[in-house]
Amino acid sequence: MSKEYETVIGLEVHVELATKTKIFCGCSTAFGGEPNTHTCPVCTGMPGSLPVLNKQVLKYAIAVGLATNCEITRFSQFDRKNYFYPDNPQNYQISQLYMPICRDGHVEIENEAGETKKVRIHEIHMEEDAGKLTHDDFYDCTLVDYNRSGVPLIEIVSEPDMRSAEEVISYLETLRTTISYLGASDCKLNEGSMRADVNISVRPVGEKAFGTRTEMKNLNSFRAITHAIEGERARQIDLLESGEKVVQETRRWDDIKGESYPMRSKEDAQDYRYFPDPDLPPIEVSDELLEEIRAAKPEMRPEKMKRYKDEYDIPEYDIGIITSNKHLADLFEETTDVCKQPKKVSNWIMGEILRLMKETETDPENLVFSPENLAKLILLVEQKVINNNMAKSIFEKMFSEDFDPEKYVEEHGLKTVADDGALRKCIEQVLIDNPKSVEDFKAGKDKAIGFLVGQTMKAMKGKADPSAVNEMLRELMK
Ligand code: ADP
Ligand code: MG
Ligand code: ZN
């Protein structure tokens, strides 16, 4: 009979920090760009060049540490991690081994059962990213681009506290919201600004000792992470059930094939011959710097959710969605500031905006319309200058090109016709043209009115208030 197994998971999460320049030189961190144009002697590892720490990197790392309940190391330093690989021009990576900037933190996540659970953070350290290799099959060569070399990273190392793929996703989501609320990174898995290495082992339920773990790299979506955990759990259980051993190694998950294969045997710290980097002075975190970072901490998601509940009469579900992303929350607040219609703004976000974002695969930070113009559109409906359907069709345009909807309505003559006479004339014609529907309505088929409203709206080119049309139709058919 087979035993029950428990999955044990610990994560090493790399996050690219949102600084404008690299960690040890003034080169741009902008994504893309012609290969090797965002480079200088420092980030291409030229002999004789010297690194200088970008202070913003330290500030972001500390801010993330404070937000994840870490202890800040007041005196820390950088270490060299030595290894030879062409994406690493110095032949060492500047990282932190002995004195990471943050230690002993935790975040609270929500597990499948809806309970709150603590995931402990072992440490957070600062380091530099490597360059990027592209293997060119056609020319049978490998090309290297150092634009990413020296982009600042923090690595957040958790304790092995997670027990399922759901907990892992919840942990990553918590980190992502926390870090993006701080403005320290946009944390995009699919663009590589957040990368998770998943360490996983299994043990028979009830067993205290951990099993041997493997590490899976290269996971760039929640879907791939979930599949990889499920696949690796099954593989390890199979091995143990057939009396074999799990080998400690790094494996690569192939999400298309749905299986993992060994990449290399796991290195120990000693393989890297770490030693303190002699080119960089130790880092002393002063009381003033800590205070400055604490004081600059923005409102975080839990506080925001609570404030929305107190301040606005909108459903809790909507609050959850809107605050899940800082940019959406900003859009909500800035629009509401102008139009003072929180409920309407939330309806627009939950409805049209999310729908179009999904349809066009647009991320919240890439929305082009301004909160002011969205507010104007909402007010145009409130003041019955245009009806809801007209607003939706105008918004479809605003979604791809920001413009002032007041001017647009004016210029295109889209105002609802307030003149009762014109509407009456139009309805009279609709009634003449649709005798069958009139008959149906009079015979008690209330549904027929919907068709007549539709015909009238069409004849009015959308420039009528549907409820006024409905009312007048009923009156004229009495
Ligand atoms: P290394 O320095 O060799 O990478 P660490 O002790 O720093 O090893 O652990 C790396 C990651 O592996 C951490 O996130 C940790 O939580 C996780 N981990 C350690 N042991 C296990 C285990 N038995 N099962 C699952 N994850 C583990
Ligand atoms: Mg490690
Ligand atoms: Zn540089």
DSSP characters for 65-82? HHHTTPEEPSEE--EEEE
- Would you say the CB of residue 12 lies under 6 angstroms from ligand 1? yes
Q: What is the mean pLDDT of residues 96-103?
A: 97
Integer Cα distance of 149 and 442 in angstroms: 77
199 lines ligand 1 (CB under 6 A): yes
Measured by CA distance, the residue closest to atom 5 of ligand 1 is 157
Atom of ligand 1 nearest to the CA of 212: 23
Q: Which ligand is nearest to the CA of 25?
A: 3
Better-scored residue on pLDDT, 2 or 137: 137
Mean pLDDT (the chain) is 93
Report the pLDDT value the prediction gives residue 265, as an integer from 0 to 100.
Answer: 73
Our answer on whether the CB atom of 6 is closer than 6 Å to any ligand 1 atom is no
Q: Which of 11, 157, 158 to mutate to test the pocket of ligand 1 (most atoms within 8 A of CB)?
A: 157
pLDDT for the residue 266: 65
Could you tell me whether strands 79-82 and 275-276 are parallel, antiparallel, or unpaired per DSSP bridges? antiparallel
Residue nearest to atom 15 of ligand 1 (CA): 10
Give yes or no for residue 64 CB within 6 A of ligand 1. Answer: no
Contact 86, 133 (CB under 8 A): yes
Could you tell me the end-to-end alpha-carbon distance of the chain, in angstroms, rounded to an integer?
Answer: 79
Q: Do 276 and 47 meet the contact criterion of CB atoms below 8 Å apart?
A: no
Indicate the range of 17-31, 83-97, 458-472 predicted with least confidence. 458-472
All structural domains of the chain: 5-288 (no CATH), 299-411 (no CATH), 420-476 (1.10.10.410)
Please give the average per-residue pLDDT across 48-74, as a whole number. Answer: 97
Nearest-atom number in ligand 1 for the CA of 199 is: 26
Find out whether the beta carbon of 124 lies less than 6 Å from any atom of ligand 1: no
Q: Which of 6, 96, 199, 245 to mutate to test the pocket of ligand 1 (most atoms within 8 A of CB)?
A: 199
Question: Distance, CA 191 to ligand 1 centroid (Å)?
Answer: 25
pTM of the model: 0.85
H or E, element range at 124: strand 116-128
Q: In the predicted model, is pLDDT for residue 1 greater than 50?
A: no
Q: Would you mind telling me the total number of residues written for the chain in this entry?
A: 478
Task: Report which residue type is found at 457.
Answer: M
Residue-wise pLDDT for 273-316, tens only, equals: 999 999 999 999 999 999 999 999 999 999 999 999 999 989 99
Tell me, in angstroms, the distance from the centre of ligand 3 to residue 458's CA: 61
- Asked if residue 96 has its Cβ within 6 Å of ligand 1, the reply is no
**Nearest protein Cα to ligand 1, atom 24:** 201
Distance CA 60, CA 19 (A): 9
Q: Considering every ligand atom, which ligand is closest to the CA of 43?
A: 3
Residue 200: CB within 6 Å of ligand 1? yes
Give the amino acid at 226: T
**Mean pLDDT in residue range 138-146:** 93
Q: Is the CB of 210 under 6 A from ligand 1?
A: yes
What number does the ligand 1 atom closest to the CA of 157 have? 14
